[in-house]
Each structure stands twice: as structure tokens, then as C-alpha cells.
Amino acid sequence: MKITDILKKSTILVQEHVGSKDAALTLMIEALSKSGQISDSVEVARVVWEREKIMSTGIGKGFALPHGKTNSVSETVGCFLTLDVPIDFNSLDNLG
């Protein structure tokens, strides 16, 4: 599988301004929903937040890999987001 199999142009968001982890996840899920890659954005949000409650997906050095698994998605999909200003993502290295 190649990254181009997962990311679509409409799910690559660059230099966005969001003020919180919640806003970032919401923006990403909305992009996936608008792209037609997910059938139930409420369910996707639920499983992504369920995963975040187990442990932050902020892996450190300004990177996070939020994810979840649900039948509302028939194949692996992704959204790439960069921010104009860093936000606190409760990362494991406590740097964002």
C-alpha cells in the first residue's frame, strides 16, 4: 500500500488554524466525510476519541497519529494536517 492509496487531495490540509485537539480531530473527520471516504462521521469521531482516552496518539516532536477502527470505514483512509501554530495534543513527550 502506498500513501497515495490512503490520502486524497481533499484530505491534505496545510497550515490550518485550530485552537485545540478537539478542533483538529473534528476538522480531519469533516475532511474525510466530505471526501466520501467515511459513511458515519459521528461513529468515526466516537472511535477516534475512544482511542484517545486510552492513550494520547500524540507521539512527540509535534506529531500525532490519531486513529480508530470501525465498520463505518470500508478501507484504510487518512487525513494529513499541518497547523500554523502548534496545539497541545497531550503528547507522550509533553512537548505538544
Tens-binned pLDDT, residue by residue, of the chain (96 aa): 898 889 999 999 999 999 999 999 999 999 999 999 999 999 999 999 999 999 989 988 888 999 999 988 889 999 999 999 999 888 877 766
Please tell me the total count of domains within the chain. 1
R_g of the chain, CA atoms, integer Å = 13
Domain enclosing residue 34, as ranges: 3-83
Nearest to 38 by CA among 83, 8, 4, 81: 8
End-to-end Cα, the chain, rounded Å? 30
Q: What is the structure's pLDDT at 73?
A: 86
Active site residues: 67
Say if 96 falls within a structural domain. no
We report the CATH number of the domain holding residue 63 as 3.40.930.10
Q: What is the structure's pLDDT at 23?
A: 97
Q: What is the structure's pLDDT at 96?
A: 60
Q: Are 57 and 64 in contact (CB under 8 A)?
A: yes
Phi then psi for residue 81, to 5 deg, are -130, 130
Question: pTM higher than 0.85, yes or no?
Answer: yes
Say if 95 falls within a structural domain. no
Give dist(CA 78, CA 74) in Å, integer.
12
